[in-house]
Amino acid sequence: MPELPEVEVTRLGIQEQILGRQIVAVLVRDGRLRRPVNPDLAARLQGQTIHRLWRRGKYLLVDLDQGQLLLHLGMSGHLRVLPAETPARAHDHVDVLLDDGHCLRFHDPRRFGLLLWGEDWSTDPLLARLGPEPLGPNFDGCYLYRRSRGHQQAIKSFLMDAQQVVGVGNIYANESLFRAGIDPRRAAGRIALPRYERLARAVVEVLQEAIAEGGTTLRDFTRPDGKKGYFRLSLAVYGRDGEPCHACGAILRGIRIAGRSTVFCSNCQR
Ligand code: ZN
């Protein structure tokens, strides 16, 4: 599933190719996504210039002359900029044709993604309730410490709650907690400030490393074969239950927290 780093790498990969371009046409092959694309999408977008491409959590927003396009990659979506004449494959649901002969192509086999035009998405419930960006100025150990007081919830679930902080998916929560030496089962409200400072740093590091890793696959976004650029981030715990901890050699434990696969070292994480 595309997580924050994949979405950020998508943004970095396509922004230069779409900024300043005018939309000349829109081809909707199949608009049945998580929410159906606007029935009048083509009329809404035609003739508009793309001024900004930005990210909020796992949402991408395209600022136009009038209104915004909201995109989400769902479970299996991806976006590429291709020469417009590139033949469409299965699940290439929407093409936004640009004035330089390229198109922004939205591909999503499982259809949990979104591609919607609206006047202003910032006040929509999808975005309005999101917590701060982990790579932004409002996220640090102090913030996590203050927000977590009184929470009995496991720290791992707390960290994955988009209302507390956006974009820390399951893999990144597992890895960050390992780096910070925190047991994922520990109650969020009972963790002291210095440990939250370590955790906030770990979250930022893990996400930045994943984005940097993805940067090496940026060329994939323009490849017509549609090869994806998912990360080969070296994972210390995720997917390694039953294997030895890289730090101490103890066998890593696999459990489930709130239904999500959780792997940790009971020796290094307290
Ligand atoms: Zn260990």
Q: For residue 130, is pLDDT > 90?
A: yes
Q: What is the predicted pLDDT for the residue at 234?
A: 76
Distance 143 CA to ligand 1 centre (A): 27
Cβ atoms of 43 and 28 closer than 8 Å: no
Residues labelled as active-site residues: 2-3, 58, 260
Q: Name the average pLDDT for the chain.
A: 91
Distance 47 CA to ligand 1 centre (A): 57
Distance 184 CA to ligand 1 centre (A): 14
What's the rounded Cα separation, in Å, for the pair 117 and 65?
A: 12
Q: What's this model's pTM, rounded to 2 decimal places?
A: 0.88
Q: What is the predicted pLDDT for the residue at 233?
A: 55
Taking alpha carbons only, the member of 209, 177, 170, 208 closest to residue 195 is 177
Buried b (16+ CB within 10 A) or exposed e, 112-150: ebbbbbbeebeeeebbeebbbbbbeeebbbebbbebbee
Domains and CATH numbers, the chain: 4-128 (3.20.190.10), 141-264 (1.10.8.50)
Distance 178 CA to ligand 1 centre (A): 8
Q: What is the predicted pLDDT for the residue at 214?
A: 76
What are the pLDDT digits (tens) for 4-54? Answer: 988 998 999 899 999 999 999 999 999 999 999 999 999 999 999 999 999
φ/ψ region of 225 (left if φ > 0, alpha if ψ in -120 to 50, else beta) reads alpha
Residue 244: pLDDT band with limits 50, 70, 90: very high
